[in-house]
Amino acid sequence: VGCDEGETQVGERCYPTGCISEIGETSPVLCNAAGHCNYKTGVCECSIAYVGSLCTECADTAILFNGACVDKACVTDEPDGSISVCNGHGKCIAGLEDSVKCLCDQDYRTIGTLLCYPSSCVRFNVLCNNRGTCIDKECVCDDDFYGDYCEFSKSCPAGHQLVLGYCVPNICVTTYSDGSKTVCGGYGHCVEKESGHTCECIKDGRFINGACVSDACITNKMYDVVCSNNGQCKGGVCFCKYDNPSPTCS
Protein backbone atom coordinates (compact mmCIF):
# COMPACT_ATOMS: atom_id res chain seq x y z
CA VAL A 1 0.00 0.00 0.00
CA GLY A 2 1.43 3.35 -0.99
CA CYS A 3 0.49 6.11 1.46
CA ASP A 4 0.29 9.80 0.59
CA GLU A 5 2.41 12.44 2.24
CA GLY A 6 1.27 13.02 5.82
CA GLU A 7 0.00 9.45 6.16
CA THR A 8 1.44 6.41 7.91
CA GLN A 9 0.80 2.82 6.93
CA VAL A 10 -0.33 0.50 9.72
CA GLY A 11 -1.22 -3.01 8.62
CA GLU A 12 -2.83 -2.70 5.20
CA ARG A 13 -4.25 0.82 5.60
CA CYS A 14 -3.01 4.38 5.61
CA TYR A 15 -3.87 6.74 8.46
CA PRO A 16 -3.25 10.48 8.97
CA THR A 17 0.06 10.68 10.82
CA GLY A 18 -1.12 13.64 12.89
CA CYS A 19 -3.91 11.54 14.41
CA ILE A 20 -1.87 8.51 15.47
CA SER A 21 -1.29 8.40 19.21
CA GLU A 22 -0.23 4.75 19.40
CA ILE A 23 0.55 2.03 16.85
CA GLY A 24 -0.68 -1.50 17.40
CA GLU A 25 0.13 -4.63 15.43
CA THR A 26 -2.69 -4.27 12.93
CA SER A 27 -4.23 -0.86 13.59
CA PRO A 28 -3.36 2.39 15.34
CA VAL A 29 -5.02 4.18 18.23
CA LEU A 30 -6.30 7.44 16.82
CA CYS A 31 -6.61 10.60 18.89
CA ASN A 32 -6.00 8.66 22.12
CA ALA A 33 -9.45 7.07 21.61
CA ALA A 34 -10.76 10.34 23.02
CA GLY A 35 -11.70 12.10 19.85
CA HIS A 36 -12.38 11.84 16.13
CA CYS A 37 -9.78 11.98 13.40
CA ASN A 38 -10.68 14.28 10.54
CA TYR A 39 -9.20 12.35 7.61
CA LYS A 40 -9.38 15.39 5.32
CA THR A 41 -7.30 17.63 7.56
CA GLY A 42 -5.36 14.97 9.46
CA VAL A 43 -6.24 16.71 12.72
CA CYS A 44 -7.86 15.29 15.86
CA GLU A 45 -11.22 16.69 16.93
CA CYS A 46 -11.33 15.96 20.65
CA SER A 47 -14.26 14.90 22.79
CA ILE A 48 -15.65 17.55 25.11
CA ALA A 49 -13.41 16.72 28.11
CA TYR A 50 -10.14 16.51 26.14
CA VAL A 51 -7.71 18.89 24.45
CA GLY A 52 -4.31 18.67 22.76
CA SER A 53 -3.16 17.66 19.30
CA LEU A 54 -3.75 14.00 20.15
CA CYS A 55 -6.49 14.52 22.78
CA THR A 56 -4.18 13.43 25.59
CA GLU A 57 -4.85 16.28 28.02
CA CYS A 58 -7.86 17.20 30.13
CA ALA A 59 -9.70 20.38 29.24
CA ASP A 60 -9.92 23.17 31.82
CA THR A 61 -13.52 22.12 32.46
CA ALA A 62 -12.52 18.51 33.21
CA ILE A 63 -10.54 16.49 35.76
CA LEU A 64 -8.67 13.19 35.58
CA PHE A 65 -10.71 10.40 37.16
CA ASN A 66 -9.68 6.73 37.03
CA GLY A 67 -7.39 7.41 34.09
CA ALA A 68 -9.94 9.32 32.01
CA CYS A 69 -10.85 12.98 31.64
CA VAL A 70 -14.35 13.71 32.94
CA ASP A 71 -16.23 17.00 32.69
CA LYS A 72 -16.56 18.61 36.11
CA ALA A 73 -20.31 19.04 35.60
CA CYS A 74 -20.69 15.26 36.05
CA VAL A 75 -18.54 15.13 39.19
CA THR A 76 -19.82 15.35 42.77
CA ASP A 77 -18.01 15.52 46.10
CA GLU A 78 -18.85 12.65 48.43
CA PRO A 79 -19.17 13.04 52.25
CA ASP A 80 -16.00 10.99 52.79
CA GLY A 81 -13.95 13.45 50.74
CA SER A 82 -13.82 11.34 47.59
CA ILE A 83 -15.40 12.24 44.27
CA SER A 84 -17.78 10.32 42.02
CA VAL A 85 -18.99 10.58 38.44
CA CYS A 86 -22.76 10.71 37.93
CA ASN A 87 -23.17 9.84 41.62
CA GLY A 88 -21.32 6.60 40.92
CA HIS A 89 -24.21 5.21 38.88
CA GLY A 90 -23.61 6.26 35.29
CA LYS A 91 -21.28 7.54 32.59
CA CYS A 92 -20.60 11.13 31.58
CA ILE A 93 -21.24 11.55 27.86
CA ALA A 94 -21.49 14.40 25.39
CA GLY A 95 -24.85 16.13 25.19
CA LEU A 96 -26.20 18.81 22.89
CA GLU A 97 -24.35 22.02 21.99
CA ASP A 98 -21.06 21.29 23.77
CA SER A 99 -22.79 20.16 26.95
CA VAL A 100 -22.53 16.91 28.88
CA LYS A 101 -25.05 14.60 30.48
CA CYS A 102 -25.11 11.45 32.57
CA LEU A 103 -26.12 8.15 30.99
CA CYS A 104 -27.42 6.34 34.07
CA ASP A 105 -27.23 2.68 34.99
CA GLN A 106 -30.38 0.54 35.01
CA ASP A 107 -32.89 1.56 37.72
CA TYR A 108 -31.31 5.01 37.97
CA ARG A 109 -32.32 8.25 36.28
CA THR A 110 -31.18 11.83 36.02
CA ILE A 111 -32.82 14.91 37.42
CA GLY A 112 -32.37 17.32 34.56
CA THR A 113 -29.40 15.93 32.61
CA LEU A 114 -26.78 15.48 35.32
CA LEU A 115 -26.27 13.13 38.25
CA CYS A 116 -27.96 9.75 38.62
CA TYR A 117 -30.42 8.91 41.38
CA PRO A 118 -32.41 5.74 42.17
CA SER A 119 -35.62 5.74 40.11
CA SER A 120 -37.45 4.64 43.25
CA CYS A 121 -36.74 8.05 44.81
CA VAL A 122 -37.60 10.24 41.81
CA ARG A 123 -41.11 11.39 40.93
CA PHE A 124 -41.98 14.14 38.45
CA ASN A 125 -38.24 14.80 38.06
CA VAL A 126 -37.91 15.71 41.75
CA LEU A 127 -35.93 13.79 44.38
CA CYS A 128 -38.13 12.78 47.31
CA ASN A 129 -40.41 15.73 46.52
CA ASN A 130 -37.71 18.00 48.02
CA ARG A 131 -38.98 16.84 51.41
CA GLY A 132 -36.54 14.09 52.29
CA THR A 133 -33.31 12.24 51.52
CA CYS A 134 -32.80 9.18 49.33
CA ILE A 135 -31.05 6.48 51.38
CA ASP A 136 -30.59 2.90 50.15
CA LYS A 137 -32.97 3.59 47.24
CA GLU A 138 -35.77 4.78 49.55
CA CYS A 139 -36.96 8.24 50.52
CA VAL A 140 -36.43 9.04 54.20
CA CYS A 141 -38.87 11.89 54.73
CA ASP A 142 -38.53 15.03 56.82
CA ASP A 143 -40.60 15.09 60.01
CA ASP A 144 -43.79 16.64 58.60
CA PHE A 145 -44.05 14.42 55.51
CA TYR A 146 -44.63 10.79 54.54
CA GLY A 147 -45.18 8.56 51.51
CA ASP A 148 -42.97 6.69 49.05
CA TYR A 149 -41.80 10.03 47.65
CA CYS A 150 -42.56 12.17 50.74
CA GLU A 151 -45.53 13.49 48.77
CA PHE A 152 -47.97 13.59 51.68
CA SER A 153 -48.12 16.15 54.48
CA LYS A 154 -48.97 15.53 58.13
CA SER A 155 -49.98 19.14 58.75
CA CYS A 156 -50.62 22.25 56.68
CA PRO A 157 -49.82 25.96 56.95
CA ALA A 158 -52.53 28.53 57.63
CA GLY A 159 -55.05 28.90 54.83
CA HIS A 160 -54.69 25.28 53.71
CA GLN A 161 -56.39 21.97 54.46
CA LEU A 162 -55.30 18.35 54.18
CA VAL A 163 -57.05 16.59 51.31
CA LEU A 164 -55.91 13.02 50.67
CA GLY A 165 -52.57 13.83 52.23
CA TYR A 166 -51.94 17.01 50.26
CA CYS A 167 -52.05 20.58 51.53
CA VAL A 168 -54.63 22.44 49.44
CA PRO A 169 -55.56 26.15 49.63
CA ASN A 170 -58.94 26.56 51.33
CA ILE A 171 -60.47 28.19 48.27
CA CYS A 172 -59.92 24.98 46.26
CA VAL A 173 -61.36 22.58 48.86
CA THR A 174 -64.87 21.19 48.39
CA THR A 175 -66.45 19.78 51.56
CA TYR A 176 -69.44 17.43 51.32
CA SER A 177 -72.29 16.74 53.70
CA ASP A 178 -70.65 13.50 54.84
CA GLY A 179 -67.50 15.41 55.83
CA SER A 180 -65.38 14.12 52.96
CA LYS A 181 -63.31 16.53 50.89
CA THR A 182 -62.03 16.80 47.34
CA VAL A 183 -59.98 19.29 45.38
CA CYS A 184 -62.21 21.45 43.17
CA GLY A 185 -65.11 19.02 43.42
CA GLY A 186 -62.97 16.19 42.09
CA TYR A 187 -63.38 17.61 38.61
CA GLY A 188 -60.58 20.14 38.33
CA HIS A 189 -57.16 21.27 39.47
CA CYS A 190 -56.08 23.95 41.92
CA VAL A 191 -53.84 26.40 40.09
CA GLU A 192 -52.00 29.50 41.21
CA LYS A 193 -52.51 32.70 39.25
CA GLU A 194 -51.50 36.31 39.82
CA SER A 195 -54.74 36.93 41.70
CA GLY A 196 -54.24 33.84 43.88
CA HIS A 197 -55.32 30.21 43.80
CA THR A 198 -58.38 29.12 41.88
CA CYS A 199 -60.01 25.99 40.49
CA GLU A 200 -59.42 25.20 36.84
CA CYS A 201 -62.09 22.75 35.70
CA ILE A 202 -61.43 19.90 33.29
CA LYS A 203 -63.31 18.78 30.18
CA ASP A 204 -66.93 19.92 30.34
CA GLY A 205 -66.72 21.15 33.93
CA ARG A 206 -68.28 24.40 35.14
CA PHE A 207 -67.43 26.26 38.33
CA ILE A 208 -70.62 26.36 40.43
CA ASN A 209 -70.83 27.26 44.12
CA GLY A 210 -67.11 26.88 44.71
CA ALA A 211 -66.61 23.55 42.94
CA CYS A 212 -66.03 22.17 39.46
CA VAL A 213 -69.16 20.36 38.34
CA SER A 214 -69.43 17.94 35.43
CA ASP A 215 -71.99 18.67 32.75
CA ALA A 216 -73.53 15.29 33.61
CA CYS A 217 -74.46 16.64 37.06
CA ILE A 218 -76.04 19.90 35.88
CA THR A 219 -79.78 19.38 35.59
CA ASN A 220 -80.70 22.98 34.78
CA LYS A 221 -77.98 24.89 32.97
CA MET A 222 -79.89 28.18 32.95
CA TYR A 223 -79.98 28.33 36.73
CA ASP A 224 -76.91 26.18 37.48
CA VAL A 225 -78.98 23.55 39.27
CA VAL A 226 -76.81 20.61 40.34
CA CYS A 227 -78.19 17.10 40.83
CA SER A 228 -81.76 18.45 40.83
CA ASN A 229 -80.98 20.15 44.17
CA ASN A 230 -81.34 16.71 45.73
CA GLY A 231 -77.68 15.71 45.95
CA GLN A 232 -74.07 16.70 45.45
CA CYS A 233 -71.79 16.24 42.46
CA LYS A 234 -68.55 14.52 43.37
CA GLY A 235 -65.98 13.71 40.71
CA GLY A 236 -68.57 14.07 37.96
CA VAL A 237 -71.19 11.81 39.59
CA CYS A 238 -74.36 12.75 41.52
CA PHE A 239 -74.59 11.40 45.06
CA CYS A 240 -78.25 11.71 45.99
CA LYS A 241 -80.09 12.22 49.24
CA TYR A 242 -82.62 9.68 50.44
CA ASP A 243 -81.03 6.79 48.44
CA ASN A 244 -82.45 8.16 45.22
CA PRO A 245 -81.41 5.75 42.41
CA SER A 246 -81.64 8.37 39.65
CA PRO A 247 -78.26 9.36 38.11
CA THR A 248 -79.34 13.01 38.38
CA CYS A 249 -81.27 12.70 41.69
CA SER A 250 -84.44 13.79 39.88
3-class SS at 187?
coil
pLDDT, residue 1, reads 61
pLDDT band for 99, please (50, 70, 90 cuts): confident
- Outline which parts of the chain fall under CATH 2.10.25: 1-60
- What is the rounded CA–CA span in Å between residue 111 and residue 95? 15
Residues 187-196, mean pLDDT to the nearest whole number: 92
Cα dihedral 137→142→147→149 (10° resolution): -50
Residues 132-153, mean pLDDT to the nearest whole number: 94
Query: In this structure, what are the phi and psi dihedrals at residue 109, rounded to the nearest 5 degrees?
Result: -150, 160
Contact indicator for 208, 189 with CB cutoff of 8 Å: no
Start-to-end CA span in the chain (Å): 94
- What is the rounded CA–CA span in Å between residue 65 and residue 75? 9
Average pLDDT, the chain: 91
Residues 103-121, mean pLDDT to the nearest whole number: 92
Residue type at position 110? T
Q: How many residues does the chain have?
A: 250
The DSSP secondary-structure symbol of 241 reads G
pLDDT > 80? residue 97: no
pLDDT of 164-186, one tens digit each?
888 999 999 999 888 899 999 99
Contact indicator for 213, 225 with CB cutoff of 8 Å: no
pLDDT band for 43, please (50, 70, 90 cuts): very high
What angle is formed at CA 13 by the lines to CA 7 and CA 16, rounded to 5 degrees?
A: 25
Contact indicator for 55, 31 with CB cutoff of 8 Å: yes
- What is the rounded CA–CA span in Å between residue 52 and residue 42? 14
pLDDT > 90? residue 84: yes
Close Cβ partners of 179 (under 8 Å, ≥ 6 residues apart)? none
Close Cβ partners of 247 (under 8 Å, ≥ 6 residues apart)? 216, 237, 238
Cα dihedral 10→11→15→17 (10° resolution): 10
- What is the rounded CA–CA span in Å between residue 146 and residue 153? 6
The DSSP secondary-structure symbol of 127 reads E
The DSSP secondary-structure symbol of 1 reads -
pTM exceeds cut of 0.75: no
Q: How far is CA 21 from CA 24, 48, 59, 130, in A?
A: 10, 18, 18, 47
Say what percent of the chain tops pLDDT 90: 72
Give the fold, CATH level 3, of 1-60: Laminin (2.10.25)
